[in-house]
Structure 1
């Protein structure tokens, strides 16, 4: 017999355990009884294909014009109305960093959507995902190694009530809206902080020794990692963009045109890749784009 519409369910929708009327959380699995069970996630990884498309979220990665190999990695996924992406950039000076980027991107995305499925709020899910990614990258090296595999990390989680980005290193996130493309992240470097303060990319301080050096990364020698997290509710529809520095160098310098904020995610990702390659393609280029519907108060 089905329960009347609006009635409090007497069994947990997640695990099937019996519930008492006064219980908010299931005593067996711990989940909020008001939270509907999540549908299965759909995931896609660049290890299988350099061009990924799940409609609301898409991504593309390319070796670029000057690198011998691609050490970037990207993973995208959807879970019901939730869309997510992770971009990792292997540090070229550390051998094996392509593998670190792959492992971190896949582990980060899996945990990000798993955390959403178990009812974690977006900031907690973003933090858990970065921790999983850090563990995956660290497992490929040893803290005593002189130069273990390592990578940067950036994630985006788009839900019906907002956008949450988390990052470690210098792979950035942007919001593409009707007024242009603006940065959501601050690189973990002296140059990154200067840029966030409004210093031009051609300012001499940007070229000082150590200005571009990463202060945080994922890897066996990175130590404990807590991502920086930013959350906001867009007031208009647009795109969340994640990328590696093969694109961000040109975006930040104003060398490439802003993204079409109402374009299809895969088309936008391909266009931005083409612009980065036309601008010089100095590095591996990875772009992920997630459509976000605006209208919630900022």
Structure 2
């Protein structure tokens, strides 16, 4: 959720009231960025990506025959973004759905920012583009078309916006530890968000962990869940696949160093997930956030 923070115009320095998009003195659009080319990297190019403020890594893990995760990272000026998609293993060809969704989502996320969309609108548009890209790989009448989950993070100088469909999560890593920013699209995800422990009998009911939303030809109309907030202090935003989150949520691996570089943090978390068993593909992206807003 956005935090009301008084800011100043980056062009003329005039005071801006919370929620103002345009400066009352010079008229400048506060969401518009200079015309600069985005820097983008995809996991189809190499498994470890690094743009300094944002980095990512992906690995097949110890038990899977292939990697069905995909990740894309990018920078547009000082704005950083990342998208992680996790192909659903039970649907053939889902690794390609993950690739197409991650690449389309990241490209649209930065394009939306460049044209002046505010972060929630940009995040929503990106998820729609990712959904369209994944849906093109199948037909609604297919019994089991390629599909994937989706999570994105957009970090500006002021705030963090995450969007998701499925059970690929986002986290905030700060000086007091890590906390989840997302709620999995499943019955189990809602129970956990309500504080229900894994020992609760409802957590073992049939279908409790089944995905209720995903990207693919059979997914129907999709709208991402979105959360926006202003970090109170410097830290990291993490987006990952459930090959890492299963260990983070269970407390089986140590949390991220919130002051570490994104590249070193992603490598460390990958190593911890593999040491904990590496039962699934592991993908994680990290973005530095300066923070400084009220708690």
Superposition TM-score, scaled by structure 1 size = 0.89
- 1:92-103 superposed matches below 5 A: 92-103=89-100
* Deviations 1:105-135, CA, capped at 9 Å, x for gaps: 0000000000000000000000000000000
Q: Which one of the candidate residues 261, 275, 296 is aligned to 2:293? A: 296
* Deviations 1:212-233, CA, capped at 9 Å, x for gaps: 0000000000001000000000
* Deviations 1:30-52, CA, capped at 9 Å, x for gaps: xx599453311000000110000
Aligned to 1:245: 242
| Unaligned runs of at least 5 residues, structure 2 | 1-10, 13-25
* Residues 201, 253 of structure 1: 8 Å contact kept: no
Aligned to 1:126: 123
| Unaligned runs of at least 5 residues, structure 1 | 7-22, 26-31
Larger Rg: 1
* Residues 84, 285 of structure 2: 8 Å contact kept: yes
* Deviations 1:117-161, CA, capped at 9 Å, x for gaps: 000000000000000000000000000000000000000000011
Superposition TM-score, scaled by structure 2 size = 0.89
* Deviations 1:158-211, CA, capped at 9 Å, x for gaps: 001100000000000000000101000000000000111111234332221000
Task: Provide the secondary structure at the position in 1 that maps to 2:252.
Answer: coil
Q: Count residues in correspondence.
A: 273
Give the CA RMSD over aligned residues. 1.8
Aligned to 1:191: 188
Q: Which one of the candidate residues 227, 230, 233 is aligned to 1:233? A: 230
* Deviations 1:6-37, CA, capped at 9 Å, x for gaps: 6xxxxxxxxxxxxxxxx969xxxxxx599453
- 1:79-90 superposed matches below 5 A: 79-90=76-87
* Residues 188, 216 of structure 1: 8 Å contact kept: yes
Aligned to 1:172: 169
Task: Provide the secondary structure at the position in 1 that maps to 2:211.
Answer: coil
* Deviations 1:242-268, CA, capped at 9 Å, x for gaps: 010000000000110110000000100
CA distance in 1, matches of 2:35, 2:202: 49
Aligned to 1:75: 72
- 1:256-275 superposed matches below 5 A: 256-275=253-272
